[in-house]
Structure 1
Amino acid sequence: MENRRRSGRVLLVWALLVVAANLRPALTGVGPVLDRVQAELGLTPAVAGLLNTLPLLAFAVVSPAVPWLAARWGPERLLTAALVVLTLGIGLRWVALFAGTVLIGAGIAVGNVLLPSLIKRDFPTRIGLLTSAYATVMGGVAAVASGVAVPVSEVAPGGWHTALGCWIVLALVAVALWLPRSRAPRAPGTVRGHRLPWGSGLAWAVTAFMGLQSLGFYVAVTWLPTVFQDSGVSAAAAGWLLFLFQAVAVLTSLAVAPALRRARDQRGVATVCSAVVLAGYAGLLAVPEWALLWSVVLGLGGGACLVLALAFLSLRAPDPAAAGALSAMAQSVGYLLAAAGPVLFGLLHTAGSGWTAPIVLMCVTAAGQLVVGLVAGRGTVTRPVAA
């Protein structure tokens, strides 16, 4: 009996990690082939930019509804439905680019919100470890998607369509893993309510930390190669530097779990990691020629901050219902802020004809992240969140 229970928990961990593996590759594979998409479909730069912005807007719109839907359907059924929507979106994007992108964003939004709640419910004593594991898987598969998009588009029939559509296989694996769980009776501790903690200062600190670190990530993946090229790096080298940034972030994600387990709270870790991000942007501002160093530094800080932002959603909540509501609030507002980041960064560059003002903006956001991390790093959202 004990062996069966242990095997069930191991399978559940694998199922959660497969969901995590599906939360980014359908998005990060777009950037490297965006020029090909734009040329083939005759899209203007502004319209092409929607392919990166639409999923973030879908996150912001869908996330607040997830706790209510989970209370009505159960988290397992809702997650299975979201994975089906994600699968349909990847398939639809082959023929209807923007409609498929919206479905992809909606499916991923549900997974983003539910994973912290499910970890809080099923593994309350392993939050740091499992959050680090799923952030590592999510980042690792995202980096692979960025790296293989162009090679696949060059050799596979269908070109960029195949490069973006091949991730449907991974989505189908996730659906197969979760479909049996969607038919099982609801587990104890299922998310029960849907009232979001808008009146909690701690919840707003967690939301701000989530939003600022997400803004930094999406600015980096959108603009860092261009910044590096303007400092004298070739286009090919700039692409590899972006891959290095993501790879270092993945490795850093693995190292955060022991720090979370040993620390009494997360204020010190949040301060150090945010300070590393600030140092990376300050260095890029002062000595842009050292692009390799700043890619590593930003990856070190960014990977750790991602794990912290995800862990806060569970650690600051007293129960799975609260974790779901906090996750919905933090990810709706946070990704809305993140969606504005790359646009504002580009506008500042255009207005000033240089990178000084945009990078100063990132220094300010990193400093703000350090401050809110001191608040988000301890305590519990005690305001009732169940309806």
Structure 2
Amino acid sequence: MADDDLATLGPAAGPRTTSTDPADGPQHPQPGPGHAAPAAGPAGRWLPRLVIAGLVLAALNLRPAITSLGALLEEVRAGLGMSGTVAGLLTSVPALCFAAFGIAAPRLARRWGPGAIVCAGMAAITVGVVARPYLGGTGGFLAASALALAGIAVSNVLMPVVIKSWFPGRVGSMTGLYSMALALGTSLAAALTVPMTEALGGSWRTGLAVWGALAAVAVLPWLVVVRQRRALAGAAASTAARPPEAPVRITSSPTAWALAVFFGLQATAAYITMGWMPQIFRDAGVSAGTAGVLLAVTMAMGVPLSFVLPRLATRMRHQGPLVVLLGLCGLAGYTGLWLAPAAGAWAWALLMGVSNCAFPLALTMIGMRSTSSAGVVKLSAFAQSVGYLISIPGPLLVGTLYQHSGGWGLPIALMAGLMVPQIAVGVLAGRDRRIEDEA
């Protein structure tokens, strides 16, 4: 995908050279020879701020459709007459949809531009979240959920390219802001859905649908950004020629594969933690209420760390040491869950929260492993789609081992065992390489 395919979003066309600021890498994009300068005038001042607002609002909406359902799943099952099998399928659908729809993001972005697709993604989340409680049956609920998840999937993939296009010298800080907002949206939906449902009359339909209001707000800044960027892109096209970029064969890049497997294994660990950690604590004698709070603590750890970690990663030529540190925290947490799950519950929850911050690190490395926005969108789609496919069996396998072994020894051993290859491929993905040099 050439840079002109990204013109509806990026502030300037074509490759960029950068000046370096030690605080966060390159800061100020400069147009390369023969390329248009970034937009000047009033639009050049307020439009980047609007993009930041759009990033934050989009990130806040990328998980509530999932975590709000988890909080009310029992009520949804009863209200729709949903079987246990179908309810179990609902917990696996997000990863499957992320993989299936995410792979289409580059093609859609090439045709319409990333900004327009993110805008459409927010609209799809709005419609899906609002409609699914009121469509009358399980089939309609699943279809509307798939629509919302499709919007989440394409937005997941395109967020790194938005950051790379608009803020090429601030990948760390902007990825941190985006990741922090994503973690905040996840935690807020998990914590507020039940009390908000009670405050709105107790109907699970209202409790799910109300999150569509937040998604509707996220559509607005992207409408303005897309409209303004198309006007500026047309002006830039009349004054600047863009040489074609060499095509990137993403499947020929060892770094792309390492990053995809790393993304998949960290997603596996995150889904296992969210799905099974409270049950581990409850089986160890911890009360249900405390087990829920422990999970909330684990998720909340991602809010501050997701802001700090990407900034730190961009200052390093090799992100391997961070991968190892997060992996060791995960191994320590699993060891604690095996030896003394109740006695050290708070410590294990904190360690697992630190380990789960492999997600913002993976997003940061996606932005750093390509020289262009076109390469980033291809790498993002590949790494996330392959990664989410890898993550699907993990939670199901843990449940199977738990059911047949009658305890948590084998499942925890599996979790710890998966952390070893996660560290190995993460170190490979963290090397100072670019996919254009390998493919």
AA matched with 2:412: I
- Cα offset, 1:377, TM superposition: 0.5
In 1, Cα distance between equivalents of 2:286 and 2:215? 36
When the two chains are superposed, the root-mean-square deviation of aligned CA atoms in Å is 2.1
CA contact (8 A) 2:62 2:156 kept: yes
Kept in 2, the 8 Å contact 1:196–1:328? The answer is no
2:392 to 339, 355, 371: 339
Q: Distance in 1 between matches of 2:223 and 2:41?
A: 24
More displaced stretch, 279-288 vs 124-133: 279-288
Tell me which amino acid in the other structure corresponds to 2:385: S
**Matching of residue 141 in structure 1 with residue 141 in structure 2:** no
Which residue does 2:44 correspond to in 1? Answer: 5
1:39: how far off? 2.3
Whole-Å Cα distance in 2 between the matches of residues 168 and 101 of structure 1?
Answer: 12
TM-score by length of 1: 0.94
Does the Cα contact within 8 Å between 1:68 and 1:193 map onto a contact in 2? Answer: no
The equivalent residue for 2:71 is 32
In the TM superposition, residue 192 of structure 1 has moved relative to its aligned partner by: 8.6
Match of 1:295 among 349, 356, 369: 349
1:4 deviates by: 5.0
Supply the distance in 2 between the matched residues of 1:193 and 1:237 (Cα, whole angstroms): 55
Q: Distance in 2 between matches of 1:84 and 1:41?
A: 25
TM-score normalized with structure 2 length: 0.83
Residues 341 and 183 of structure 1: CA distance in aligned 2, closer, same or farther (over 3 Å): same
Does residue 223 of structure 2 align to residue 170 of structure 1? no
- Return 5+ residue gaps in structure 2 as ranges: 1-39, 135-139, 237-241
The verdict on how the C-alpha distance between 1:298 and 1:193 changes in structure 2, with shifts beyond 3 A counting, is: farther
Structure 1 position 375, deviation (Å): 0.3
Correspondence list, 1:374-385, <5 A: 374-378=427-431, 379-382=433-436
Map 1:210-359; keep pairs closer than 5 Å: 210-289=263-342, 290-303=344-357, 305-359=358-412
Gaps of 5+ in 1: none
Shift of 1:5: 2.4
2:15 is matched with which residue?
A: none
Q: Determine helix, strand or coil for the equivalent of 1:124.
A: coil
Distance 1:55 1:193 in 2: 34
Asked whether the equivalents of residues 272 and 398 of structure 2 are also in contact (C-alpha less than 8 Å), the reply is yes
Where does 1:174-193 land on structure 2 (aligned, <5 Å)?
174-186=218-230, 187=233
Indicate the percent of aligned positions where both proteins have the same amino acid. 38
**1:80–1:175: 8 Å Cα contact kept in structure 2?**
yes
Offset from partner CA, 1:149-204 (integer Å, 9 cap, x none): 22122332362212211111111111111112233444589x99997611211101
| Maintained 8 Å contact 1:51/1:101 | no
Question: In 2, distance between residues paired with 1:183 and 1:65?
Answer: 23
Q: C-alpha separation between the residues in 1 aligned to 2:51 and 2:110?
A: 20
Task: Report matched runs for 1:11-90 at 5 Å.
Answer: 11-90=50-129
In 2: Cα distance, 1:171 partner to 1:184 partner: 21
Contact 2:310 2:364 in 1 (8 A): no
